[in-house]
Homo-oligomer: A and B are copies of this chain.
Amino acid sequence: MNHAIIGKSVTRTDLLGKVTGEARYAGDIDLPGLLYGKIKRSTVAHANIKRIDTSKALALPGVKAVLTHANVPRVLHAGSPHPRSASVTCDQYILDDKVRYWGEGIAAVAAVTEEIAELALALIEVDYEELPAVFTVEAAQLPDAPTIHQTGPGGNLVLAPVAFSRGDVARGFAEADLIIEGEYEGGRPTPAYMEPNVCACRWDGNGNLTVWISTQTAFMVRGIMAEVLGLPLHKVRVLVDHMGGGFGAKQDLFQHEFLCALLARETRRPVRMEYSREETFVGGRSRHPAKIWLKQGFRKDGTLTARQARVVFNSGAYGSHGPGVTIVGTSALLSLYRCEHIQLEGRCVYTNSPIAGAFRGYGVVQTYYALDIQMDEAAARLGIDPVELKLKNAVREGDIAPSNHALIGHGLEDCIKRGRELSGWDARRRQARPPTGALRSGWGLGCEMHGSSAYPGIQEQGNAIVKMNEDGTVVLLTGTAGLGTGAHTALAQIVAEELGVAFDDVSVVHGDTDVVPWDIGAFASHTTYMGGRAAQMAAAEVKRQLLARAARQLDVAPEELELGQGAITVRGDGMRGMTVCQAVMARKGVPAAQLVGTATYHPTKSYSFAAHYVEVQVDIETGYITVSQVIPVHEIGKVIHPVGAAGQIEGGIQQGIGHTLYEDYQIDLRTGRSLNANFVDYKMPLSMDMPPIHTVILETAPDPGGPFGAKGVGEDPIVAIGPAIANAVYDAIGVRFRHYPIKPEQVLQALARQAGTPTV
């Protein structure tokens, strides 16, 4: 099908505002009488608060209010955004008389300047009754471990262990010629979005609360805020204009957001609270550290016979997205590589550590890291080319995905094959590769599949309202979040294409819960897939009305009309027709009113695929690993905005390189204290560290449920890159790493072990 706008890299609607500084973020909000809020944070990891004295803080001139557990509503609530979902855990208070991790908020101050608020924090006196603390999932699961929460199934579990199985795993292992098992471990990367968490709150005299906030989930903020504060939904207005990233972590509600609303209510003045960079670590959400025990059986020819896994996620001090991550991450092992006999168990464990939450790749980064490295191990043990082994077992059309939907097309095979060609994989394997000085080169392959929408336990829906103005220009009202990915540009393209108008003729209204239709938020790679499809459907409804008007005017049936490039013509008679603008105004002499279309879309589930071919250079003198090139091949259905999709892929690869090689948010395992909660000590790859990336996007399996066949791309790239690097490192130096990040000292130690040399 020929598209006028879909598939074109139009200029993003948010571009100019961002480069000129005109774009407004929640942190830019300034209001008459604005106060500044700050949070006092715990200096111990696990304790009861025996006494908290705010009198000196309150006496400080300029301090307008101080909140502690003693004077905030005591409502047990969820921090994650599915209050009515099966996979949610309600385990948070706004402020509690118990502290569960080092850095947890225990009091909040509103003052006329940020400096006074900081000073007041220091004046709050706290006596703790310290409790034994646990920081690892092993320690937390010991019989005599301290109990972190009274809620939940006990034993410091966030939720009862989840299990998935298929076939008879014992039989599968019995049929195997080769059985491999191993333990794999993922560290604690954090999303490190550019824009720290920030919100501003104002109450009006009628008890209406307005919240300006950086969030991916405005309607969830509205819902949970309303619930915790005891307000009906229409009295809470959540506004999100531009955002500087979220990567999933901003799906949660954070302590300061409730406190900001409460401080504003208490002081009757607007209050703004903004995290420092340190607080984005301490009070933010990291990826779940995970341990995966994985065992698989293979026939000699590479056929998988059985897979068994136990996955344990470290949720930190609160449940947050733990249930969802456990279900999605564990069940992901049902798929990617076909296997008849599978048995999986997933656990999520409380520890006295910083909170883990939603993060791009959502549990799958961890489990596919294990799976894809083990496939590489098996290939080596079986003497089969890993590409061949993965191709042989790759899921394909009709296979049942973890969500119980049948897959469409052969995306994974397509990606693997295309990448094999482009990377010259086969030729290179036949060549000898002489080492160059201290550098050892290697190639690796990582694969993945990821679903758009269909978060477990909930059924999602997209909504849209489309208005066409008298001059044929169009406004889309959408609840989808624009966290910086260009989502609203893609949605405008979809609407323009459907209505046959120019891209510039469409504007997008978003980020105001009073105004736009409900949306679950930026989740699960589904914004373009689900929100875009809803927008397309609403546009189609406007188109229907428009063609009906034109048909009356032209005295033909609507089905005889064609719409495109701002014109409506009678099919087969290009001379008969009218402009879109004329059709809107079709009643003579009448100032025409807008056409309005609304739509609700209940998606099924769409899977995207990727194969990343990666070359690394390992310096055997320093242990330093350099990614020297990446050939990411993605099958994502119809591409709406090629540059936007490529940007997602490149950004995901950069983040994935960071997680695999550098990034790890660390705590002192004796005290729970954060060790590197800043951009000096927490190392991330910069643009200068990035390798050439030769992105290839396939459109071989468009999804009939997506707009024009589009599927998601947001999470794919961060998943495949990790095991590709680890496998390339093995290819380069023959050392198998089963964890991330892989650090230079670990490389040196492993090389020394390999050579039988004692290490320091």
Q: Is B463 within 8 A of A465, CB to CB?
A: no
Interface of A: prevailing SS:
loop
Which of A208, A514, A590, A594 has the most CB atoms of chain B within a 10 A radius of its CB?
A594
Partner of A590, one of B459, B470, B509, B600: B459
Q: Does A711 contact B (CB under 8 A)?
A: no
Interface residues as binary, A225-240 with B (CB distance below 8 Å gives 1, 0 otherwise): 0100000111100000
User: For A509, what are the chain B residues with a Cβ–Cβ distance below 8 Å?
Assistant: 514-515
A226 to B581 alpha-carbon distance, docked (Å): 15
Interface residues as binary, A452-483 with B (CB distance below 8 Å gives 1, 0 otherwise): 00000111010101010111011101000000
Shortest distance in angstroms between A493's beta carbon and chain B's nearest beta carbon?
15
A86 to B591 alpha-carbon distance, docked (Å): 10
Q: Does A429 contact B (CB under 8 A)?
A: no
542-593 of chain A: CB within 8 A of chain B: 585, 587, 589-591, 593
Q: Is A471 within 8 A of B590, CB to CB?
A: no
Q: Does A739 contact B (CB under 8 A)?
A: no
Partner of A465, one of B465, B506, B518: B465
A463-B594, A587-B459, A593-B461 known; A234 vs B473 contact (CB < 8 Å): yes
510-536 of chain A: CB within 8 A of chain B: 512, 514-515, 517-518, 520
A590 to B520 alpha-carbon distance, docked (Å): 11
Q: Is B518 within 8 A of A593, CB to CB?
A: yes
Q: Is A234 within 8 A of B474, CB to CB?
A: yes
Q: Is A458 within 8 A of B591, CB to CB?
A: yes
Q: Is B589 within 8 A of A85, CB to CB?
A: yes
A16 to B682 alpha-carbon distance, docked (Å): 51
Q: Is A598 within 8 A of B596, CB to CB?
A: yes
Q: Does A17 contact B (CB under 8 A)?
A: yes
Q: Is A458 within 8 A of B598, CB to CB?
A: no
Partner of A17, one of B205, B461, B598: B205
Partner of A475, one of B470, B506, B514, B596: B514
Interface residues as binary, A195-232 with B (CB distance below 8 Å gives 1, 0 otherwise): 00000000011101000000000000001001000001
Partner of A589, one of B457, B469, B473, B598: B457
User: For A13, what are the chain B residues with a Cβ–Cβ distance below 8 Å?
Assistant: 206
- Further pairs besides A233-B469, A509-B514: 18, Cβ < 8 Å: A16-B204, A16-B206, A22-B205, A84-B585, A85-B591, A86-B589, A232-B469, A234-B475, A235-B473, A458-B590, A463-B594, A465-B596, A470-B518, A475-B514, A477-B515, A512-B515, A515-B515, A598-B598
Can you list 27 A-B contacts with CB-CB less than 8 angstroms, sorted by A residue number?
A13-B206, A17-B206, A22-B205, A83-B591, A84-B591, A85-B589, A85-B591, A86-B589, A208-B507, A226-B471, A232-B473, A232-B505, A233-B473, A234-B473, A234-B475, A234-B506, A235-B473, A235-B507, A459-B590, A465-B598, A469-B518, A515-B515, A517-B594, A517-B596, A518-B593, A593-B600, A596-B600
The 10 closest A-B pairs by CB, nearest first: A234-B473, A518-B594, A233-B469, A518-B593, A16-B205, A234-B507, A232-B473, A596-B598, A233-B471, A515-B515
